[in-house]
Structure 1
């Protein structure tokens, strides 16, 4: 198995966890502020971060000369989290996810412009076809054209640019990257939470901490994946979030998948399998097309 194939499977695992994490987060922000969720989420992530730092030997020390990129990355990921949960307060989850599925397009474009990754027409085609599958599956409502839609789209852009910067910082230990990400979000939560604090019940506090634990695992998988494979190669696999959301909704909420969801999911899976096939059969070409980052 090539490093890029390993990166793809790690990314798929991270996206699967994101689907469960997003649904739980949407449920919690109906009663609590986004800032409060971000604060307690960061506290919950500490358990996993400390354990991994101890087992891997990673520290909080950052490589010299990269501090500003880390700050930008933290702010973008905080903007992503805030935008997603804020948008779900006003929009159906399907609409928000539709906007967030524009992230692979943004990642691919930004990777080509900022990281000098060579993206061929076939990979662009797979990404566009996958996005078509998302639209078919989710069937966004008229609410998708409300002002909250701009918040969701902004969040998708924040997430996409943060993933590109994460690829740029792949020489930094992946545990260190995730640790600083949650430290930064926790600090922002501390600043904002006093203005809208609601004392959580023990169960809700535990669930918010669990969101942090799961989110931490998500970002660790994705960050490690970006250390192994180009961002533009991984981008199409973001669409599998829709497939997982459909499966989880069916299992836990009895929401049987409709024909459009089945068709859209099949299109998404096909586009991802095409990218994986291209990577496995043309791995040498893919490797050569990724120019070193200056």
Structure 2
């Protein structure tokens, strides 16, 4: 099946599956961050992901990357390293559902950046949606202050918001990257570049995790690689702003996993804030030509 004949719904479903795997990986990573710290959790996971990515790249033919693809790999790898450190550091300090809800500003920012850099069509309603989304973030932060989670939780929330800004940029770069390279190549280079960046601090920060943590690291690496592969394929066949809405499925995963694994409850403020942000993003993304735009972008 060629890209020209693919329905936008197929790309959407594949992206949603990728988000599902990534959400489950978040639970493994939170456990690892609490056990060995954010640096070692991310460093060892990405190192294993590099090996898995190499196998995926080899299975796909392992052709020589173009100079444009290499530039995009380096750019996205650098963005991803900073984004992941901020997100997982914050995730270790706030409930999973709250962290995911705060990260939902990324799809809205991706719409704005997609219009600016990819010339994707976005209507004036994005301005209204932006204000509403900020109000949703405010609701979540008010709930956090009332829950008296402490200064560490506030710092974690700020880190997650900063990570969301980088993630929005990452979504746009992913769209460009998926047009210049195959999914296997993307999975390999992103994990490898992130690992090399983190390795710069290895002489001072790297510590071998306890034996009992290695299964989590391996599973986390597998989930991250599979998720990246699926998302790379989806973004090669759909519009960035359109596919970004699949992010919203992760809230259900975060709420359930946070409750089952970490005993976290979801506050009414988090639910209300997430609902406002999601509604704002869907309002901004809803336009008559969105399906046609996705088809044209994939063709």
- From 163, 168, 178, give the equivalent of 2:171: 163
TM superposition shift of 1:130: 8.0
TM superposition shift of 1:99: 2.6
TM superposition shift of 1:221: 1.4
TM superposition shift of 1:285: 5.9
2:158 alignment counterpart = 150
Partner Cα separation in structure 2 for residue 156 and residue 7 of structure 1? 22
Partner Cα separation in structure 2 for residue 249 and residue 95 of structure 1? 10
**Mapped pair 1:83 → 2:86:** yes
Give CA deviations for 1:216-261 in whole Å, capped at 9, x if unaligned.
1111111111111111111222122112222334555676777777
**Mapped pair 1:195 → 2:198:** no
In structure 1, list runs of 5 or more residues that go unmatched: none
2:40–2:206 Cα contact (<8 Å) kept: yes
SS of structure 2 residue aligned to 1:29: helix
Partner Cα separation in structure 2 for residue 105 and residue 38 of structure 1? 27
Partner Cα separation in structure 1 for residue 139 and residue 249 of structure 2? 14
TM normalised by structure 2 equals 0.79
**Mapped pair 1:6 → 2:4:** no
Partner Cα separation in structure 1 for residue 103 and residue 132 of structure 2? 16
In structure 2, list runs of 5 or more residues that go unmatched: 146-150
TM superposition shift of 1:202: 1.9
Give CA deviations for 1:153-211 in whole Å, capped at 9, x if unaligned.
22111111111011112231121112110001111232223312333222202211221
1:229 alignment counterpart = 238
Question: Higher mean Cα deviation, 131-140 or 107-116?
Answer: 131-140
Structure-2 change in CA distance of 1:153 and 1:49 (3 Å)? same
Structure-2 change in CA distance of 1:117 and 1:269 (3 Å)? closer
Partner Cα separation in structure 1 for residue 51 and residue 73 of structure 2? 22
Let me know the Cα RMSD of the aligned residues: 3.6
Structure-2 change in CA distance of 1:291 and 1:18 (3 Å)? closer
1:20 alignment counterpart = 24
Question: Higher mean Cα deviation, 248-257 or 223-232?
Answer: 248-257
Partner Cα separation in structure 1 for residue 264 and residue 95 of structure 2? 15
SS of structure 2 residue aligned to 1:141: helix
Give CA deviations for 1:2-28 in whole Å, capped at 9, x if unaligned.
442211111111111122111211111
SS of structure 1 residue aligned to 2:10: helix
TM superposition shift of 1:140: 4.5
TM normalised by structure 1 equals 0.80
Question: Higher mean Cα deviation, 249-258 or 10-19?
Answer: 249-258
Aligned residues: 289
